[in-house]
Amino acid sequence: MQVRELTNAEEEIMKVLWKLEKGFVKDVLTELPEPKPAYNTVSTIIRILEKKGLVGYRAYGKTHEYYPLITEEAYKRFEMEQLMSGYFDNSLKKLVSFFVKDRNLSLKEANEIIDLLNRQKES
pLDDT in tens, 79-106: 888 888 988 898 888 887 887 787 777 8
Mean pLDDT calculated for residue range 15-41: 97
**Residue 118 or 16, more confident:** 16
The Cα 37–Cα 27 span in angstroms is 13
Q: Look at residue 122 in the predicted model and tell me its pLDDT.
A: 77
Q: What is the CA radius of gyration of the chain?
A: 19
- Cα atoms in the 13 Å half-sphere on the side-chain side of 33: 3
In a domain, 62, yes or no: yes
In a domain, 56, yes or no: yes
Q: Say if residue 58 is in the same domain as residue 13.
A: yes
Q: Say if residue 60 is in the same domain as residue 109.
A: no
Q: Look at residue 84 in the predicted model and tell me its pLDDT.
A: 86
In a domain, 73, yes or no: no
Q: Look at residue 113 in the predicted model and tell me its pLDDT.
A: 83
Mean pLDDT calculated for residue range 1-23: 91
CATH of the domain at 60: 1.10.10.10
Whether residue 78 is predicted with pLDDT greater than 70 in this model: the reply is: yes
Instruction: Count Cβ atoms below 10 Å from residue 90 Cβ, excluding itself.
Output: 11
In a domain, 118, yes or no: yes
Q: Say if residue 25 is in the same domain as residue 54.
A: yes
Number of structural domains, the chain? 2
Containing structural domain, residue 103: 89-123
The Cα 89–Cα 113 span in angstroms is 21
Confidence class for position 1, pLDDT limits 50, 70, 90:
low
In a domain, 74, yes or no: no
Length of the chain, in residues? 123
The Cα 112–Cα 97 span in angstroms is 15
Whether residue 11 is predicted with pLDDT greater than 70 in this model: the reply is: yes
With vertex at residue 74, the alpha carbon angle to CA 67 and CA 110, rounded to the nearest 5 degrees, is: 135
Q: What is the pLDDT of residues 29-74, one digit of tens each?
A: 999 999 999 999 999 999 999 999 999 999 999 999 999 999 999 9
